[in-house]
Chains A and B, each alone.
Chain A
Amino acid sequence: MILLLLAIPCLGALAAFVLRSDRVRRKVLVATAMLHLALVVKAWKRAPQPVMNGWLGLDAAGMVFLSVTSVLFLAASIYAAGYLRQETQGRKGQPESGTLLNNAPEAVFSGCLLLFLATMTLVVVSRHFGLLWVAVEATTLASAPLIYFHRHDRSLEATWKYLLLCSVGIAVALLGTFFLAVAAAGPGNRAIPLVAGELIRRAGELNIPWLKAAFLLLLIGYGTKMGLAPMHTWLPDAHSEAPAVVSALLSGALLNCAFLGILRLREICAAAGQAAYGRDALIALGLLSMAVAAVFIIGQRDYKRLLAYSSIEHMGIMALGIGLGGAGVFGAIFHAVNHAFAKGMVFLVAGNILSAHATKSADKIRGLWQSLPVSGALWVAGFFAIAGAPPFGTFWSELIILKAALEGGRPVTAAAFLLFLAIIFIAMTATVMGMAQGENTSRLSTGFRETIAFIAPPAVLGGIVLLLGLYLPSPLRRVLHETAVLFGGL
């Protein structure tokens, strides 16, 4: 079952590389995504057994993150099919400099997209820390060609930065994994295997100083990939230069995967009686990320960069929630779910706007409600979802984290959290509302139509965030609860 989850996207990717017909390839992309989701739904009904000596397994946390990734990928693949159809119609100009550009071959794009899904699935199902590390590295490699889809100097620069920064982060994470191995070496010659189940069972034998050092290194390593400030500098570039579909997946799914990498070690720390360790580091990184995001969101005129900084903000909120512990952990996991769908939605809508207006500058766009009625409405709705306005799910998860901060006796943290949220809300309102309202004066590019493939995926994702705010289904609530307990919360 778990192997099937990994094999299907790989086979799909292989087919995408081999197939000659673009139309068939797009169908393969969507079909693979559907099949993946169907398997995930089946896993909800009956939990799959661990395989390969417990190296691969699916626990409650895995279920949550796998489901989010799978749903988001299906939405993105439907969008991608429409996007690719439109992209292939003639050469297009680069929005900023007006120069003509080529795209990467569609086979490479679809193939890498599916490989990206396979590697993210591997991150989620890895129970072995070495394998987890390999999986995170593989996500970086699979996503780099996606960022360089539009072949021009700006996207090349973004890809180079992404690869260099993330590879340094990954190297630090490897060192952290080696540290964990030293911590697990144990007295005598009975090294504990780095499989999560074994480590938890024999957590008492772990060497605590080395475990702590391993946690810090992994926090920095995977934190780079997650986009926590001050290791975030690759993120705005990569997210703003990549095609909308890729930005949505990077932000909604990949950052969560890196987050899960950090959480996995928290689980071990909690089992070893060190649940309190590293909480201050997480809170500090979380607040710093929110502060950096707030500073750069004020006056940000590039709306894709705006969304990228908003991702840094939300990663900060999640780190903060984990750091606060207690109910904050539940809030953080719930927020990861909400953020993934909300950010997927707004990035896809931003893709529509970019396709129609051919500019990333918010100053040049007015009157979206006139020019793109559906996308304009979705843009405003998505903004409310991402900014954490009620009744969207993001509002509730942020409220839970705020409550955890107050109950944990950290009023300063709570005040800073509220302050940054308020600044970001106001700054984003100015930009987003400015784009939506007013008279549209610019001419739209002729190639773009608001077809169902461009509208349905973001609308459905937005609907999910709304639904999560109004009603949390009991199986989901149960799994979220179990996850929070795993990571030392509640």
Chain B
Amino acid sequence: MAVWIDALMMLLVLADLVLLGSSRISFCIRIVAFQGIVLGGLPLLRHAPDLGVRPLLLAATALMVKGVVFPRLLLKALRDANIRHEIEPFVGYTSSIVFGVVALGVFLALGRRLEMPLPAPSGLVVPASFFTGLVGLFLIMTRKKALTQVLGYLVMENGIYAFGAVLAIEQPWLVEMGVLLDVFVAVFVMGIIIFHISREFDHVDTHRLAFLRDWRKSYKPVLMKGKKNLEGEFEE
């Protein structure tokens, strides 16, 4: 089964690279959904051919939550909150991809050196899952919008899940507990949907969340409702 796990890991990495280079949010959401479906295959392949209830349940949960529910919620948030469909990165797409390729090389080199205490089912698991986690972190840091940060968080989580689903599966309940990380994603998406509607929080660009900082001269209220996100491009 090692070949198939390797193949899934490769798909995961390719999806990361696509994410680094694409500019439309709705497309990115679909790529993350694709990652979720790939992850759903991992517990099955890890345990094949003798599949018990546990891998089946894990696979079904990952597939449903990461592959179907969150992408749909995110697309709904994108529609409801009238977010511009462009990603607006701090770091350009080309530089992002260059960063990704370099990081991938480093992780592949490091992954070979790491000595596994147990016979690993695939040599690609450690580098691929780490790379995915790092890409997620990179997306959180370099993309402006709250929604894209959530997307980045989801990618990071996918990396950690890939690691756990293949390597930490021997521990009872541990990977199942890890699925609870998804609760945060749910909270974030709900936050975006709810707070936009209640109009307390008219922008979803996180770089405008700059009220709370030190070295501020006075407490003058700054008008937060900017024009930038209202200048049209509501594509519906």
Residues on A close to B: CB < 8 A?
96-99, 130-131, 133-134, 137, 140-141, 144, 151-154, 156-158, 160-161, 163-164, 167-168, 170-171, 174-175, 177-178, 181-187, 189, 191, 193-194, 207, 209-210, 236-237, 240-241, 296, 299-300, 305, 360-361
Q: How far is the CB of A300 from chain B (nearest CB, A)?
A: 7
CA distance A271 to B104 in the complex (A): 36
Q: How many positions in chain B have a CB within 8 Å of any CB in the partner chain? A: 44
Q: How far is the CB of B13 from chain A (nearest CB, A)?
A: 18
Kindly identify, within residues 171 to 228 of chain B, every residue whose CB is under 8 Å from any CB belonging to chain A.
171-174, 177-178, 180-181, 183-184, 187-188, 191, 195, 200-201, 206, 209, 211-212, 214-215, 219, 221, 224
A131 B177 Cβ-Cβ under 8 A: yes
A163 B188 Cβ-Cβ under 8 A: yes
Instruction: Please name the residue on chain B nearest to A98 by beta carbon.
Output: B221
Residues on B close to A: CB < 8 A?
114-118, 133, 137, 140, 146, 149, 153, 156-157, 160, 163-164, 167-168, 170-174, 177-178, 180-181, 183-184, 187-188, 191, 195, 200-201, 206, 209, 211-212, 214-215, 219, 221, 224
B157 A300 Cβ-Cβ under 8 A: no
Instruction: Please name the residue on chain A nearest to B164 by beta carbon.
Output: A178
With A160-B146, A236-B214 known to touch, is A144 a contact of B117 (CB < 8 Å)? no
A157 B195 Cβ-Cβ under 8 A: no
- Chain B residue numbers with a CB within 8 Å of A140 are 184
A interface: dominant SS = helix
Q: How far is the CB of A5 from chain B (nearest CB, A)?
A: 21
Please tell me which one of the listed residues A137, A175, A186, A187 contacts residue B163 in the complex, with CB atoms under 8 A apart: A175
- Chain B residue numbers with a CB within 8 Å of A163 are 184, 187-188, 191
CA distance A188 to B142 in the complex (A): 43
With A137-B181, A157-B209, A300-B214 known to touch, is A193 a contact of B172 (CB < 8 Å)? yes
Please tell me which one of the listed residues B167, B188, B209 contacts residue A182 in the complex, with CB atoms under 8 A apart: B167
A236 B212 Cβ-Cβ under 8 A: yes
Instruction: Please name the residue on chain A nearest to B175 by beta carbon.
Output: A178
B201 A137 Cβ-Cβ under 8 A: no
- Chain A residue numbers with a CB within 8 Å of B170 are 181, 185, 189, 191
Please tell me which one of the listed residues A96, A160, A183 contacts residue B209 in the complex, with CB atoms under 8 A apart: A160
CA distance A158 to B146 in the complex (A): 14
Instruction: Please name the residue on chain A nearest to B208 by beta carbon.
Output: A157
A157 B184 Cβ-Cβ under 8 A: no
Instruction: Please name the residue on chain B nearest to A188 by beta carbon.
Output: B118
A130 B116 Cβ-Cβ under 8 A: no
Q: How far is the CB of A170 from chain B (nearest CB, A)?
A: 7
A151 B160 Cβ-Cβ under 8 A: no
| Interface contacts beyond A183-B117, A240-B212: sample of 17 additional A-B pairs, CB < 8 Å, sorted by A | A98-B221, A130-B173, A131-B177, A137-B180, A141-B187, A152-B200, A163-B188, A164-B149, A175-B160, A178-B163, A181-B168, A182-B116, A182-B117, A185-B118, A186-B118, A194-B174, A299-B215
Q: How far is the CB of A168 from chain B (nearest CB, A)?
A: 7
With A178-B163, A178-B174 known to touch, is A160 a contact of B200 (CB < 8 Å)? no
Q: How far is the CB of A227 from chain B (nearest CB, A)?
A: 15
- Chain B residue numbers with a CB within 8 Å of A241 are 212
B184 A170 Cβ-Cβ under 8 A: yes
- Chain A residue numbers with a CB within 8 Å of B153 are 164, 167-168, 171
Instruction: Please name the residue on chain A nearest to B198 by beta carbon.
Output: A151
B167 A178 Cβ-Cβ under 8 A: yes
B212 A194 Cβ-Cβ under 8 A: no
- Chain A residue numbers with a CB within 8 Å of B219 are 96-97, 360-361
A153 B224 Cβ-Cβ under 8 A: yes
- Chain B residue numbers with a CB within 8 Å of A99 are 221
With A137-B183, A182-B117, A194-B174 known to touch, is A154 a contact of B211 (CB < 8 Å)? yes
Q: How far is the CB of A256 from chain B (nearest CB, A)?
A: 22
CA distance A65 to B113 in the complex (A): 40
CA distance A361 to B178 in the complex (A): 42
Q: Which 9 A-B pairs have the closest CB atoms?
A: A97-B221, A207-B117, A181-B168, A237-B212, A167-B184, A191-B170, A178-B168, A185-B118, A96-B219
